[in-house]
Amino acid sequence: MKLRWFVILSLLLVCFGFSYASAESSEIPSLVGSWVGHSVGHFAEGGFINETTFNYEFVVTEQEGRGFTGTLYETGIHGNNTYGFSGVIAHDMTTLYIADQDKGYNTGHLVSADEMELILLVDGEESFAEACTLKKM
C-alpha cells in the first residue's frame, strides 16, 4: 500500500514539475510592431458598434521581457484619437493586461503570433465594452 501511494505521489510531482518547467521555459512573444484591426461592442450613450465604427492601429514601441508600452491610434465616429498604454504579458505567455494612460483597462489574448484580441471595459457615465481583433503587420 505504501508503494502504491509513493508511485502516485511521484507521478503527481513529476507531472507538476514538468508543467511548471514548461511554463517557465516558454518563450516570451515579441509584441513590438504595428497591429491593425476593428472592434465590436456597445457604448452606453451610443449603442452598438460594429467593424465599420472604429479602425485601430495598436503600436507596441518598446518591450522589455514581459512588459511593453506604446500608442493606440483610433479613427472613427469620434474622430482621430491617440492613447498611450502600458502592458504586461501574463505568465501563460498568451494573456495580456493593458492599462490605458487615459482611462480604462484592456485584457487580451494572443490568438497566434500575428493575431490578438483585446477587450476594453470602461465604467461610469461613459461606459462601454469593446472587443478588438488586431493583426500584426
Residue 38 counted as domain residue: yes
Residue 21 counted as domain residue: no
Question: Over 80: is that where the pLDDT of 20 sits?
Answer: no
Average confidence (pLDDT) over 37-65: 92
Q: Residue 54: which residues within 8 A CB-CB, separation 6 or more?
A: 38, 39, 74, 75, 76, 77, 78
Q: Residue 70 — very low, low, confident or very high, per pLDDT cuts 50/70/90?
A: very high
Question: Over 50: is that where the pLDDT of 9 sits?
Answer: no
Count structural domains, the chain: 1
Residue 4 counted as domain residue: no
Residue 120 counted as domain residue: yes
State the pLDDT at residue 115. 97
Give per-residue pLDDT as tens, 48-57.
988 888 899 9
Q: How many CB atoms lie within 10 A of CB 129?
A: 15
Distances, alpha carbon 137 to alpha carbons 5, 12, 49, 58, in Å:
53, 43, 24, 10
Give per-residue pLDDT as tens, 114-127.
999 999 888 888 88
Average confidence (pLDDT) over 65-71: 97
State the pLDDT at residue 4. 54
Average confidence (pLDDT) over 71-87: 91
Residue 27 counted as domain residue: no
Average pLDDT over the chain reads 84
Residue 131 counted as domain residue: yes
Query: Nearest-CA neighbor of 53 among 44, 66, 43?
Result: 43
Q: How far apart are CA 16 and CA 12, in angstroms?
A: 6
Please tell me which residue, 95 or 23, carries the higher pLDDT value: 95
User: What is the domain-level CATH number for residue 101?
Assistant: 2.40.128.120
State the pLDDT at residue 125. 84
7 contacts 14 by C-beta, under 8 angstroms? no
Range of the domain at 132: 33-136
Q: How many CB atoms lie within 10 A of CB 64?
A: 8
